[in-house]
């Protein structure tokens, strides 16, 4: 027996393996960061009889959630500018603030706060896109999360880089530095069709293939983006990116709000993934992504929060519920995106989109022990006829009590309400947030 061996005994196991919806009276054995076995509680092998047990008898145990589209360091701009559409929000509020504030320390501190928010809400992996990715990685390593880092590329100058070539050079340097890190993976992240040239997209397509990296971009987020592309390039952004070799089975497109049926079929054929961000799409008045139709077309759809400046919560529970509820109206069918499908979007679908489906996204023997326990016996969750329904339509992120990444308990909320992160002090994090708030606030007025 070693410290890295333990048994979790939950009320329900929600494996997300496409076979059983729930397992009752089962235990999950974790060894050296991986899932060693899933067995009935009364059939725990003799050799594990002295392993420590984590009692989760009031909980559902499920795979850690995967946030498929984030700009983590924007946590420092949470609620900075509300009630604006995407383009004025970017041009008049967010980009000016970023010009003033974005730096290595801004990115590190914002990402650290985002990691804490995500871990406490049961997110174990996120797919990021922002400047100074090395600073985000440093925060991720401290938090103990798993991250897929988008190496951002755009044509215009920011505090991080000046030219597309410089963005690419800086990004590949970071990737080279961490390429042997098993908890960090990478994509090239050409920001969006309206900020990246054809030549740069082509260069990225080639490089991604050479280096075996994925691609993470924004696509068809707003009608204005499509209109601008039609005026400038004579085609919709999706057609342009297709021609430039950007769309494929290793590409994650964030948003995909305005997609016609024929475009869903193109994406399905290409194997391209969508990171559906329903709350951000509503808040910026972008629209409602046709995700039920996308799933019917055979596409893989995961869920993202977007950044805290446009959501304003990095809360996958909120995204699951909103995705399930919205689809019923936008698809005009109360059976669209039932609870189980929403759970798949937040777990195994996200893993597939990042090419990590053999490592994370479900509770299966041999996979990483990225696991969360969710209390389902608080008064607001009773009665409970079906834990799957409650996880999507009832539970809040505050019901997450344990978040393990690779078998390490990175976040825990105890019975007496104390929250503990491994390697991060809550008071230190609060103090970091308040220092940035004071600085940024002083420049607002």
Contact positions vs a second copy (CB under 8 A): 76, 78-80, 82-86, 89, 113, 116-117, 120-121, 279, 281-288, 311-313, 315, 322, 325-326, 328-329, 332-336, 338-339, 377, 379-380, 382-386, 389-390, 393-394, 396-398, 416-418, 426, 429-430, 433-434, 436-437, 440-441, 444
The CA distance from 256 to 249, in Å, is: 16
The CA distance from 329 to 348, in Å, is: 25
The nearest distance, CB 85 to a second copy, in angstroms, is: 4
Q: In this complex, which beta carbon is closest to a second copy, that of residue 292 or of residue 301?
A: 292
The nearest distance, CB 322 to a second copy, in angstroms, is: 8
DSSP helix/strand/coil, 362: coil
The nearest distance, CB 163 to a second copy, in angstroms, is: 32
Q: In this complex, which beta carbon is closest to a second copy, that of residue 250 or of residue 281?
A: 281
The nearest distance, CB 392 to a second copy, in angstroms, is: 8
Quickly list DSSP for 149-215: EEEEE-SS--SS-SSHHHHHHHHHHHHHHHTT-TTEEEEEEE--TTTS-HHHHHHHHHHHHHHT-EE
**In what order do the strands lie in the sheet containing 251-255?**
65-70, 123-130, 146-153, 184-190, 214-219, 251-255, 273-276, 300-303
Q: In this complex, which beta carbon is closest to a second copy, that of residue 57 or of residue 210?
A: 57
Q: In this complex, which beta carbon is closest to a second copy, that of residue 71 or of residue 283?
A: 283
Residue 134's contacts (CB-CB under 8 Å, 6 or more residues apart) are: 104, 174, 177
The nearest distance, CB 82 to a second copy, in angstroms, is: 5
Q: In this complex, which beta carbon is closest to a second copy, that of residue 189 or of residue 391?
A: 391
Q: In this complex, which beta carbon is closest to a second copy, that of residue 89 or of residue 132?
A: 89
According to DSSP, the residues that pair with 276 across neighbouring strands are 303
The nearest distance, CB 78 to a second copy, in angstroms, is: 6
CB 116 within 8 A of CB 420: no
Angle between helices 133-143 and 164-178 (to 10 degrees): 30
């Amino acid at each position: 027996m070693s410290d890295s061996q333990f048994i979790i005994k939950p009320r329900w196991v929600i494996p997300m393996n496409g076979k059983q919806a729930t397992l009752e009276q089962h235990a999950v054995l974790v060894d050296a960061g991986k899932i060693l076995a899933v067995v009935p509680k009364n059939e725990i092998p003799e050799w594990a009889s002295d392993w420590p047990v984590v009692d989760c008898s009031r909980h559902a145990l499920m795979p850690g959630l995967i946030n498929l589209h984030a700009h983590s360091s924007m946590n420092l701009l949470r609620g900075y500018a509300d009630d604006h559409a995407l383009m004025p929000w970017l041009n008049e509020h967010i980009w000016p603030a970023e010009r003033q504030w974005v730096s290595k320390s801004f990115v590190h501190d914002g990402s650290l706060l985002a990691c804490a928010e995500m871990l406490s809400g049961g997110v174990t992996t996120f797919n990021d896109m922002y400047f100074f990715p090395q600073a985000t990685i440093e925060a991720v390593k401290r938090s103990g999360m798993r991250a897929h880092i988008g190496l951002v590329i755009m044509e215009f100058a920011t505090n991080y880089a000046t030219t597309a070539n410089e963005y690419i050079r800086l990004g590949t340097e970071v990737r080279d530095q961490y390429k042997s890190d098993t908890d960090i993976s990478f994509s090239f992240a050409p920001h969006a069709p309206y900020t990246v040239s054809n030549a740069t997209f082509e260069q990225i397509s080639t490089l991604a293939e050479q280096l075996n990296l994925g691609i993470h971009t924004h696509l068809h987020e707003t009608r204005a983006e499509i209109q601008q592309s039609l005026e400038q390039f004579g085609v919709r952004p999706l057609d342009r990116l297709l021609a430039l070799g950007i769309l494929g089975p290793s590409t994650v497109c964030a948003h995909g709000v305005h997609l016609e049926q024929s475009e869903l079929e193109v994406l399905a054929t290409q194997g391209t993934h969508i990171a559906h961000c329903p709350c951000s799409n509503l808040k910026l008045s972008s629209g409602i992504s046709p995700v039920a139709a996308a799933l019917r077309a055979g596409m893989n759809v995961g869920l993202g929060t977007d950044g805290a400046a446009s959501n304003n919560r990095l809360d996958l529970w909120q995204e699951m519920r909103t995705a399930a509820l919205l689809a019923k109206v936008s698809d005009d069918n109360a059976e669209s995106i039932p609870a189980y499908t929403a759970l798949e979007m937040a777990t195994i679908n996200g893993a597939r989109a990042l090419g990590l489906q053999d490592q994370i996204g479900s509770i299966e023997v041999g996979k990483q022990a990225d696991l969360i326990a969710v209390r389902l016996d608080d008064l607001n969750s009773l009665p409970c006829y079906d834990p799957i329904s409650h996880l999507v339509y009832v539970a809040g992120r505050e019901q997450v009590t344990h978040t393990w990444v690779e078998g390490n308990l990175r976040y825990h909320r105890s019975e007496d309400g104390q929250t503990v992160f491994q390697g991060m002090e809550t008071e230190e994090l609060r103090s970091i947030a308040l220092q940035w708030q004071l600085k940024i606030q002083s420049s607002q007025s």
